[in-house]
Amino acid sequence: MARPAVLVARAVFPETVQRLARHFEVEANPADRIYDRAELIEHLRGKAGALTTASERIDAELLDAHPQLRVVANMAVGYNNIDLAACSARGVLVTNTPDVLTETTADFGFALMLAAARRLSESERFLRSGAWNRWAYDLFSGTDVHDATLGILGMGRIGQAIARRGALGFGMKVIYHNRSRLDPALEAPLGARWVDKAALLRESDHLVLVLPYAPASHHAIGAAELATMKPTATLTNVARGGIVDDAALAAALRARRIAAAALDVFEGEPQVHPALLGLANVVLTPHIASASVATRRAMAELAADNLIAALGGGRPPTPLNPEVLARSARASGA
Ligand code: 8YV
C-alpha cells in the first residue's frame, strides 16, 4: 500500500523530518520558505497530513481544496491559525503541542517581566551606546518585582507556571482572571486569588497575558484597560498578537500611562508597530518564548508523534478535536 504523503510546512529539526520519512512520503521545506496561501494550497496537493506552525493558516477554503487532508499537526500550543470548527466539520483531525513548552514559556514570560520592571534592555542599550559616564542615584531605577502583585490574565498551564515562579520564588502576591476559577487545591499553594478583570487591571503591579487568542480576546487590552492600570505597572504579553491593541499600548507607554511593557508577540507579526520600535520603555523579542533547544525539539517530536499515530490509525497524544477520532472509529466499525 502506498505510504501517506505529508507536508512539513516549515523547516524543523532534520532528525524530525528523517523520523517522519520512515513512515511517510515527506515533502519538507529545508529552505524555510514561508508559503503564501496559493503556495500552501499547491504544496498540500495529495497530502494526507501536514505539520504546521503558527505561520500557516488552515481554513475552510484550504480544506475544501484538499478533501484528502486528514491530519493537521500544529507545532504550537496555540492554534488560532487553524479553523478548528471547519476541520471538525470535515473530519480533519487537529493536534497541538501542549505541556512540553509550559515551563520554558513561563521562564521567558518571567524574564520579560523582570526585564521590563528593571529596565534591562533600555539600560543595556544606554551602556552600549557609550553614554554611561557616572553612577547616579536614579540611573535606570525601575520597579521591584519581589513582594509585588503579579496579575495573570489567562490562568492555564503557562499562567500557573508563571504564578508559581512569582509566588514561590519572588514572594509575589498572585491575582488572576480567567473565565473559570481554578480548583482551590491549585490556588492554595500559590496564594492565588481570582478577581474580575477590572480589579486585575487596577491592582496588578506586573500584569502578564497568557490567554489564547480568539475573537473574544481581540484587543482585551486596549486604551480603556490601560487607562485603569497603575502608572507604575508593567505589562507583559507572551500569548498572541492581537490580544493587545499595540497602537494603544504605544500611546500609553509614550504618555507614561504605564511604566513599561515587554512583548514577545505582535499584531501582524513579524511586522511590529512602528510606534513601539521608537520607545525606550518596551522590551521587544521576536516570538521566542518557547525557544529553548530542548523545548523546540520536544514540540517538533510531539507534532511528529501526533502525525504518526493519527495517520497510522492510532490515537494521537494531544488531539484538539478528538470527536473526529470517535467518528472515524465508528465509520470503520472499530
Ligand atoms: C511557537 C507559540 O513557537 O506554541 C505556541 O503557541 O506561540 C510558540 O511556542 C509558534 O507558535 C510557532 O508555531
Cell matching residue 70? 486528514
Confidence of residue 253 (pLDDT cuts 50, 70, 90): very high
Give me the half-sphere count of Cα atoms (radius 13 Å) on the Cβ side of residue 60: 3
Is the pLDDT score of 330 beyond 90? no
The percentage of the chain sitting over the pLDDT mark of 90, rounded to a whole number, equals 97
In this predicted structure, what is the pLDDT of residue 331? Answer: 62
Minimum CA distance residue for ligand 1 atom 6: 78
In one-letter notation, the amino acid at residue 215 is: P
Residue whose CA lies nearest to ligand 1 atom number 5: 76
Count of CB atoms situated within 10 Å of the CB of 55: 14
Specify which residues 250 forms β-bridges with.
none
Stretch 30-46: mean pLDDT: 97
**The pLDDT value given to residue 226:** 98
Report the pLDDT value the prediction gives residue 326, as an integer from 0 to 100. Answer: 84
Is residue 295 within 6 Å of ligand 1 at its C-beta?
no
Quick one: angle between helices 157-164 and 102-117, nearest 10?
50
| Cα–Cα distance list, 303 to 53, 86, 191 (Å) | 10, 20, 35
101 lines ligand 1 (CB under 6 A): yes
* Sequence-separated (6 or more) residues with CB below 8 Å from residue 6: 20, 24, 25, 26, 27, 47, 48, 49, 50, 51, 307, 311
Q: Residue 328's pLDDT band (boundaries 50, 70, 90)?
A: confident
Give pLDDT, residue 152: 98
Integer angstrom CA distances of residue 227 from 232, 255, 265: 12, 11, 21
Which pLDDT band holds residue 15 (cuts at 50, 70, 90)?
Answer: very high
Tell me the CA–centroid distance for residue 54 and ligand 1, in Å: 6
The ligand 1 atom nearest the CA atom of 76: 4
Average pLDDT over residues 112-116: 99
Phi and psi, residue 127, nearest 5°: -65, -45
The three cell numbers locating residue 12:
524543523
Q: Is 106 in the pocket of ligand 1 (CB under 6 A)?
A: no
CA–CA gap between residue 22 and residue 170 (Å, rounded): 47
Report the CATH number of the 102-284 domain. 3.40.50.720
Which atom of ligand 1 lies closest to the CA of 288? 3
Instruction: Find out whether the peptide bond into 322 is cis, omega within 30 degrees of 0.
Output: no
Decide: 54 in ligand 1 pocket, CB within 6 A.
Answer: yes
Ligand 1 and 73: CB distance under 6 A: no
Ranges of each domain in the chain: 5-99+293-332, 102-284
Q: Whose C-alpha lies nearest to ligand 1, atom 4?
A: 76
* Terminal-residue alpha carbon distance, the chain: 20
Q: Is the pLDDT of residue 334 over 60?
A: no
71 pLDDT band, cuts 50/70/90, is very high
pLDDT tier at 333 (50, 70, 90 boundaries)? low
Alpha helix (H) residue ranges in 99-156: 102-117, 120-128
Pocket test for ligand 1, best of 10, 96, 213, 287 (most atoms within 8 A of CB): 287
Residue 53 in contact with ligand 1 by CB distance below 6 A? yes
Quote the pLDDT of residue 332: 59
- Nine-digit cell string for 298: 520536544
pLDDT per position as a tens digit, 197-233: 999 999 999 999 999 999 999 999 999 999 999 999 9
Q: Per-residue pLDDT for 97 more than 90?
A: yes
**Is CATH 3.40.50.720 the classification given to domain 5-99+293-332?**
yes
Ligand 1 pocket test, candidate residues 55, 58, 82, 101, most atoms within 8 A of CB: 101
How many angstroms separate the CA atoms of 155 and 226, rounded? Answer: 20
What amino acid positions are annotated as catalytic residues?
240, 269, 287
**Residues 259-305 pLDDT 10s:** 999 999 999 999 999 999 999 999 999 999 999 999 999 999 999 99
The Cα 83–Cα 287 span in angstroms is 22
Ligand 1: which of 32, 56, 75, 82 to mutate, most ligand atoms within 8 Å of CB?
75
Tens digits of per-residue pLDDT, 141-170? 999 999 999 999 999 999 999 999 999 999
Q: Is 200 in the pocket of ligand 1 (CB under 6 A)?
A: no
Q: Is the CB of 75 under 6 A from ligand 1?
A: yes
Residues 6+ apart with CB under 8 A from 96: 74, 76, 77, 78, 79, 318, 320
Q: What separation in Å is there between the alpha carbon of 101 and the centre of ligand 1?
A: 9
- Is the confidence at residue 329, as pLDDT, over 70? no
Between 234 and 325, residue with greater pLDDT = 234
Residue 11 pLDDT class (50, 70, 90 cuts): very high
